[in-house]
């Protein structure tokens, strides 16, 4: 059986340690194993990144951008191979996997603008005979820890921009679906990236803790659950590291009485059930303003949920594939049991879905709950599965209060045809990413991605302008060349520009 190893200093490191299984979630079969890096292996990756740093950060940004241009081309040329690996190990449909990859490529495109993004600022005559300017320097060796649900896109949020800014990088992807991540990293090597600039170590908590403890790792980017995000932020900042840690979500869609309901239903179907709900931007709560809206929405949702096409991720034309592992399938199932026990009405039950020919796969159909209330666990916690909860409120103001009271603040949206309602919602909602008639308001690459409250730990969002700020340090230089005049007297008052 193939054992997936690590990319360190431009070479694949032979397997010689602990391993864990990688499944095809459609069949339930073990298709590969992946080595879990030891502390020594991770330290070797950090050492390789540290050794590569001086030459790489001194390479002109335009030269770094040229490598990223070639990388973009290689990603496009190998799209089918990357998509197949994502579908095989994660379970995504080919169309969903291709969309993920394209959004990742957009971030590579943004990073190719490094010469423009890294331009400093200059002020001539900021004071008498004084010029002042600022420029941007690489942070050093930085690390990324990424989740299973976007094995291509989320790493591409991180290391293309980090290395464009002159840093070197150690990536710790999810051990559940590592093959596409490693293939993409190898394509960057083919594009001409010097050895050691990007290193990939597969692993578990031992690898994460080694990155956190190393004094040579200056910054860490993380995407995953809130408990782990909080742990990484606390441990990283305690050691003086720069940390951005993106956590969990409970994303609400507000359905107003004046909403164009057919469009809202179509949007909700994709946002709630696309990728089996295994997205941090998935809509998992529909907040209906008024019982009439709720009843009309339910009547339109039921036949569409029951008609979802579910099958193996390697088949085209499907709406959903399987969940990523049996353990995760069991976790989502437990949430559904709990929702029923708590008194919510399970209108559509996808727990008994069977896919012909794939009886051992990790499949679940779409589920729909009504009469969900804020004290229920299925409302409070991130389920990360194909489960949509309906909560009924009496006004937009009540909907806003409901959302603002939740501990998560990642994404939200409102469906309405009224500009005043939309404007009030955008102004008052305490959430980092907001859509108006857009169910998944994921920012494009030249903006930045991140939530509020317990959905983000750290001051800067991912990729875009915030990504540049995270992966650089500003240095401000003030320079004076005195005029050729007689010696000036000492000045003891605090200097000013006057």
| Active-site annotation holds for 413 | no
In the set 280, 367, 389, 413, the catalytic residue is 280
Q: What stretches of 132-200 show up as alpha helix (H) in DSSP?
A: 153-164, 179-190
Tokens in use for 57?
Answer: 């950060």
Do residues 477 and 269 lie in contact, with contact meaning Cβ atoms separated by under 8 Å? no
C-alpha distances in angstroms, 140 versus 255, 329, 348, 464? 46, 40, 51, 19
How many angstroms separate the first and last alpha carbons of the chain?
A: 73
Beta partners for 8?
11
Rg (the chain; Cα; Å): 25
Rounded (10°) CA dihedral 300, 303, 305, 307:
-140
| DSSP-derived secondary structure for 300-324 | HHHHHHHT--B--TTSTT-SB---S
* Strand, coil or helix: 115: helix
Helices (H), 113-152: 114-117
Phi (first) and psi of residue 212, to 5 degrees: -65, -35
Q: DSSP string spanning 269-291?
A: HHHHHGGGG-STT-EEEEEEESH
Bridge-based pairing of strands 130-138 and 121-127 is: antiparallel
Q: Both tokens of residue 121?
A: 């600022």
Active-site residues, by number, are: 280
């Amino acid at each position: 059986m193939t054992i997936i190893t690590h990319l360190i200093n431009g070479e694949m490191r032979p397997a010689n340690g602990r391993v864990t299984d990688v499944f095809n979630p459609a069949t339930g079969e073990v298709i590969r194993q992946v080595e879990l890096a030891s502390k020594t292996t991770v330290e070797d990756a950090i050492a390789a990144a540290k050794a590569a740093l001086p030459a790489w950060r001194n390479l002109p940004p335009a030269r770094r951008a040229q490598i990223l241009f070639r990388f973009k081309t290689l990603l496009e040329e190998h799209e089918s191979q990357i998509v197949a690996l994502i579908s095989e190990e994660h379970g995504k449909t080919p169309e969903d996997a291709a969309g993920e990859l394209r959004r990742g490529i957009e971030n590579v495109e943004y990073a190719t603008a490094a010469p423009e993004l890294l331009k400093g600022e200059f002020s001539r005559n900021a004071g008498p005979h004084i010029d002042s300017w600022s420029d941007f320097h690489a942070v050093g060796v930085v690390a990324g820890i990424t989740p299973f649900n976007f094995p291509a896109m989320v790493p591409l949020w991180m290391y293309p921009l980090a290395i464009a800014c002159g840093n070197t990088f150690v990536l710790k992807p999810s051990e559940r679906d590592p093959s596409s991540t490693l293939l993409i990293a190898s394509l960057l090597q083919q594009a001409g990236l010097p050895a050691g600039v990007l290193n990939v170590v597969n692993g578990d908590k031992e690898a994460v803790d080694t990155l956190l403890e190393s004094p040579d790792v200056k910054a860490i980017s993380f995407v995953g659950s809130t408990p782990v995000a909080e742990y990484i932020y606390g441990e990283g900042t305690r050691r003086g590291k720069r940390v951005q840690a993106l956590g969990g979500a409970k994303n609400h869609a507000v359905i107003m009485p004046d909403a164009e309901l057919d469009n809202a239903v179509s949007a909700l179907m994709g946002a709630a059930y696309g990728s089996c709900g295994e997205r941090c931007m998935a809509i998992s709560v529909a907040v209906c303003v008024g019982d009439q809206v709720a009843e009309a929405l339910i009547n339109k949702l039921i036949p569409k949920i029951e008609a979802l096409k579910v099958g193996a991720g390697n088949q085209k034309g499907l709406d959903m594939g399987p969940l990523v592992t049996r353990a995760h399938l069991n976790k989502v199932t437990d949430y559904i049991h709990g929702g029923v026990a708590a008194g919510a009405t399970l209108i559509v039950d996808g727990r008994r879905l069977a896919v012909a020919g794939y009886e051992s796969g990790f499949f679940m159909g779409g589920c729909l709950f009504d009469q969900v209330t804020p004290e229920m666990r299925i409302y409070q916690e991130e389920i990360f599965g194909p489960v949509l909860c309906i909560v009924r409120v009496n006004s937009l103001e009540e909907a806003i209060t409901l959302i603002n009271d939740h501990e998560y603040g990642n994404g939200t949206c409102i469906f309405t045809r009224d500009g005043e309602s939309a404007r009030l919602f955008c102004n008052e909602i305490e959430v980092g990413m907001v859509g108006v008639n857009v169910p998944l308001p994921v920012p494009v690459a030249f903006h930045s991605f991140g939530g509020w409250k317990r959905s983000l730990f750290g001051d800067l969002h991912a990729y875009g302008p915030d990504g540049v700020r995270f992966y650089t340090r500003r240095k401000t230089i003030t320079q004076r060349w005195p005029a050729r005049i007689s010696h000036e007297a000492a000045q003891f008052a605090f200097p000013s520009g006057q």
